[in-house]
Amino acid sequence: MKNAVETYFGFTKPPFPHCVASSDMMEHSGLKELLARLQMAVRDQSIALVIGQGGMGKSSSLRKFRDTLDPNRYNILAISNPASGLTGICRDLVRRLGHEPSYFKPHLVTQLREALQLQAARDRQNIILCDESGSLTDDWLRDLRMILSADLDAIQYATLILAGDYTLKERIRMACHESLRGRIRFRYEFRPLDLSQTKEYVSHYIRLAGYRGESIFSDGFLARMHEYTRGVPRAINQACLLALLACTIRETRIADETIWTIVQTELEQS
């Protein structure tokens, strides 16, 4: 059932959805660069680090990357609960690799490594993908070498992709993680959208919602919104949805600077 905003503007799908299909994401230059770096990490079976503040689209971008991979060739192991600690993560991964995890903690790392080796021997490349990696314990981060490689010089059994916010970046700079830091071959840090990208972003998701009329958002609105949201996609989505609602209530088809004043007031009161 359409809501009032969708009916008023003639949208065929909800605009600025919370979760967008990877095929519908706007492929701006930053996303293309991220995908290229992750593809190189997979090719080299190395470690990649993806950093960005909340709302920048890390999770959606990682889902986009995952959807580009052939499941018959790649064994994608997403860590579902990074806060569960070394034991919990190892047990979960061992179970998903088709083995019954050991009850003895000292055996788990060896068991996981052997399970990854077995998959590699079957010509299935392992990719361990961890969003919200800032929740990983220091023990897990320190033991990565033993899990991923046969020796201290080469990563052979899995590609590891760690994604998190700036606290993860700072943790990896700590002396206790010097070995891990030295083994991260590919890095990507999300940057806010500039004004041009913001305009393209808004236009893309309005078209995706099925709108084919004249431009809804004025240049003045977009400029002020970009300055306020600092180019963060999640904040842009929220501002645009509030603007569409304000336009619907006031029966206007243009979100101009007057509408922006209303939106800003609501954002600052929330």
Segment 127-175, tens digit of pLDDT: 999 998 888 888 888 877 677 776 655 557 889 999 999 999 999 999 8
pLDDT band at 40 (very low <50, low <70, confident <90, very high): very high
What's the pLDDT score for residue 150?
60
Q: Residue 80 pLDDT more than 90?
A: no
Share of the chain above pLDDT 70, in %: 97
Pairwise CA distance, residues 128 & 38, whole Å: 12
pLDDT of residue 211: 94
Is the pLDDT confidence value at 62 over 90? yes
pLDDT on residue 167 = 92
Q: With contact defined as beta carbons under 8 Å apart, do 155 and 143 qualify?
A: no
What average pLDDT does this structure show over 27-33?
Answer: 90
Instruction: Tell me the β-bridge partners of 48.
Output: 161, 186
Measured CA to CA, the distance from residue 42 to residue 121 in angstroms comes to 17
Nearest to 59 by CA among 132, 127, 150: 132
Q: Cα(145)–Cα(139) distance, rounded to whole angstroms?
A: 11
pLDDT greater at residue 121 or residue 230: 230
What pLDDT does residue 19 have?
86
Q: Collapsing DSSP states into helix, strand and coil, what is residue 122? A: coil
Mean pLDDT of all residues belonging to the chain: 90
Distance separating alpha carbons of residues 8 and 228, to the nearest angstrom: 26
Q: What is the mean pLDDT of residues 201-217?
A: 94
Q: What is the pLDDT of residue 102?
A: 86
**Nearby residues of 35 by Cβ (< 8 Å), 6 or more positions away:** 61, 64, 65, 68
CA distance 86 to 105: 9
SS3 state of residue 153: coil
83 has a pLDDT exceeding 90: no
* pLDDT of 18: 86
Identity of the residue numbered 245: L
pLDDT at 82 exceeding the cut of 90: no
Q: Tell me, what's the pLDDT at 126?
A: 93
Phi, psi of 80 (to 5 degrees): -80, -25
pLDDT for 124 equals 86
pTM passes above 0.85: yes
Cβ atoms 62, 50 nearer than 8 A: yes
Share of the chain above pLDDT 90, in %: 63
Mean pLDDT of 195-207: 96
Lowest mean pLDDT among 65-74, 231-240, 252-261: 65-74
